[in-house]
Structure 1
Amino acid sequence: MNNFSPVAQKYLKHVAKINGLKKMTFADWKLDLDPALNPKATIEDGYNFVMKSIEALGPEYIETIRPFLKDRWVDFPANTGKDSGGYTTFPYGVHPFILMSWTDRLSDVYTLIHEIGHAGQGALSAKYQSFYNYEPSTYYVEAPSTFNELLLSDYLENRADDPRTKRFALAHRLSDTYFHNFITHLTEAAFQREVYSLIDQGKTFNADKLNQIMKSVLSRFWGDAVEIDDDASRTWMRQAHYYMGLYSYTYSAGLTISTQAFINLKNDPEKGRKNWIDFLKLGGSKDPITAAKIAGVDVSSDQPLKNTIAFLSDTVDKIIEYSSQI
Structure 2
Amino acid sequence: MKTYSSRKEVPASERWDLTDIYPNTESWETDYTIVLEMTEKLRTFDGTIDNAQALYEYLTLKEETTYLYSKLYAFSQLQIDIDTRVSSSQALLDKVRHLGQKFSSATSFFMPFLLSLDEGALKEYIKEAEGLTYFEDDLFEAYRYKKHVLSKEKEEVLSQMGEALSSPRNTFGMINNADIRFGEVTDDNGAKVRLTRGMYSKLIEHEERDKRKEAYQAYYQPYTQLQNTIASTLASAIKNNVLLSNMRNYPSALEKSLFSDMVPKEVYENLIQSTKENMKPMYKYMTIRKERIGLNELRAYDLSVPLAAGIEQVIPYEKAYETMLKSLAPLGEEYVQTLAGFKEKRYIDVRETPGKRSGAYNLGLYGVHPFVLLNHQDDLDSLFTLTHEMGHAMHSYYSSRHQPQIKAGYSIFVAEVASTVNEVLLIRYLLNNTDDGQMKKHLLNHFIDQFKGTFFTQVMFSEFEKITHEKAERGEALHAEVFSSIYESLFKEYNGEELVLDEEVKYGWTRIPHFYRPFYVYKYATGFASAIHIADRLLEGNRDVLHSYLNFLKSGCSDYPLGLLKQTGVDLSKPEPIQNALSVFSGLVDDFSKQQ
Q: Is the shorter-chain TM-score for this pair beyond 0.5, marking a shared fold? A: yes
Displacement of 1:200 after TM fit? Answer: 5.0
Q: Show the counterpart of 1:307.
A: 580
Given the alignment, which residue of 238, 257, 262 partners 2:511?
238
Q: How does 1:255-274 map to 2 (within 5 A)?
A: 255-267=528-540, 269-274=542-547
Q: Deviations over 1:204-225 (max 9, x none)?
A: 4543333322222222222212
Given the alignment, which residue of 558, 562, 582 partners 1:285?
558
Given the alignment, which residue of 299, 313, 327 partners 1:39?
313
Q: How does 1:68-87 map to 2 (within 5 A)?
A: 68-87=342-361
Displacement of 1:268 after TM fit? Answer: 5.9
Output the CA distance in 2 between the equivalents of 1:317 and 1:102: 32
What amino acid sits opposite 1:46 in the alignment?
A
Give yes or no for the alignment of 1:210 onto 2:210: no
Given the alignment, which residue of 433, 438, 441 partners 1:164?
438
Output the CA distance in 2 between the equivalents of 1:88 and 1:210: 30
Output the CA distance in 1 between the equivalents of 2:510 and 2:559: 34
Q: Bigger relative contact order, structure 1 or 2, given CA contacts below 8 A and separation 6+?
A: 1
Q: Deviations over 1:70-129 (max 9, x none)?
A: 333322244333334322222112222222233333432212111111111110111111
- Conserved? CA contact 1:51–1:62, under 8 Å: yes
What amino acid sits opposite 2:443 in the alignment?
A
Q: Show the counterpart of 1:224.
A: 497
- The number of residue pairs the alignment matches comes to 322
Unaligned runs of 5+ in 2: 1-274
Give yes or no for the alignment of 1:27 onto 2:301: yes
SS at match of 1:83: coil
Q: How does 1:104-123 map to 2 (within 5 A)?
A: 104-123=378-397
Displacement of 1:252 after TM fit? Answer: 1.2
SS at match of 2:300: coil
Unaligned runs of 5+ in 1: none
Relative to structure 1, the CA distance from residue 42 to residue 234 in structure 2 (aligned partners, 3 Å threshold; closer, same or farther) is closer
Structure with higher Rg: it is: 2
Relative to structure 1, the CA distance from residue 35 to residue 208 in structure 2 (aligned partners, 3 Å threshold; closer, same or farther) is farther
SS at match of 1:188: helix
Displacement of 1:281 after TM fit? Answer: 1.0
SS at match of 2:376: coil
Q: Which has the higher helix share?
A: 2
- Conserved? CA contact 1:139–1:250, under 8 Å: yes
Relative to structure 1, the CA distance from residue 268 to residue 2 in structure 2 (aligned partners, 3 Å threshold; closer, same or farther) is farther
What amino acid sits opposite 2:318 in the alignment?
E
Q: Show the counterpart of 1:297.
A: 570
Q: Say which is worse superposed, 129-138 or 83-92, in terms of deviation.
A: 83-92
Relative to structure 1, the CA distance from residue 242 to residue 133 in structure 2 (aligned partners, 3 Å threshold; closer, same or farther) is farther
What amino acid sits opposite 1:291 in the alignment?
L
What amino acid sits opposite 2:425 in the alignment?
L
Given the alignment, which residue of 456, 459, 465 partners 1:192?
465
What amino acid sits opposite 1:285 in the alignment?
S
Displacement of 1:51 after TM fit? Answer: 1.3
Output the CA distance in 1 between the equivalents of 2:419 and 2:300: 27
What amino acid sits opposite 1:115 in the alignment?
E
SS at match of 2:299: coil
Output the CA distance in 1 between the equivalents of 2:547 and 2:470: 41
Q: Show the counterpart of 1:181.
A: 454
Displacement of 1:3 after TM fit? Answer: 3.4
Relative to structure 1, the CA distance from residue 241 to residue 97 in structure 2 (aligned partners, 3 Å threshold; closer, same or farther) is closer
- Conserved? CA contact 2:286–2:496, under 8 Å: no
What amino acid sits opposite 2:395 in the alignment?
Q
- Conserved? CA contact 2:465–2:515, under 8 Å: no
- Conserved? CA contact 1:215–1:232, under 8 Å: yes
Instruction: Give me the identity figure in percent.
Output: 28
Q: How does 1:87-98 map to 2 (within 5 A)?
A: 87-98=361-372
Relative to structure 1, the CA distance from residue 18 to residue 95 in structure 2 (aligned partners, 3 Å threshold; closer, same or farther) is same
Q: Show the counterpart of 1:57.
A: 331
Displacement of 1:36 after TM fit? Answer: 4.4
Output the CA distance in 1 between the equivalents of 2:486 and 2:356: 35
Output the CA distance in 2 between the equivalents of 1:207 and 1:46: 41
SS at match of 2:500: coil
What amino acid sits opposite 1:157 in the alignment?
L
Given the alignment, which residue of 521, 533, 546 partners 1:248?
521
Give yes or no for the alignment of 1:6 onto 2:280: yes
SS at match of 2:346: coil
Relative to structure 1, the CA distance from residue 36 to residue 99 in structure 2 (aligned partners, 3 Å threshold; closer, same or farther) is farther
Displacement of 1:240 after TM fit? Answer: 5.1
Displacement of 1:267 after TM fit? Answer: 4.8
What amino acid sits opposite 1:222 in the alignment?
N
Q: Say which is worse superposed, 87-96 or 32-41, in terms of deviation.
A: 32-41
Displacement of 1:259 after TM fit? Answer: 1.6
Relative to structure 1, the CA distance from residue 107 to residue 237 in structure 2 (aligned partners, 3 Å threshold; closer, same or farther) is closer
Output the CA distance in 2 between the equivalents of 1:224 and 1:68: 46
- Conserved? CA contact 1:3–1:309, under 8 Å: no
Q: Show the counterpart of 1:153.
A: 427
Displacement of 1:227 after TM fit? Answer: 2.0
SS at match of 1:101: strand
SS at match of 1:76: strand
Q: Say which is worse superposed, 78-87 or 217-226, in terms of deviation.
A: 78-87
Relative to structure 1, the CA distance from residue 108 to residue 222 in structure 2 (aligned partners, 3 Å threshold; closer, same or farther) is closer
TM-score normalised per structure 1? 0.89
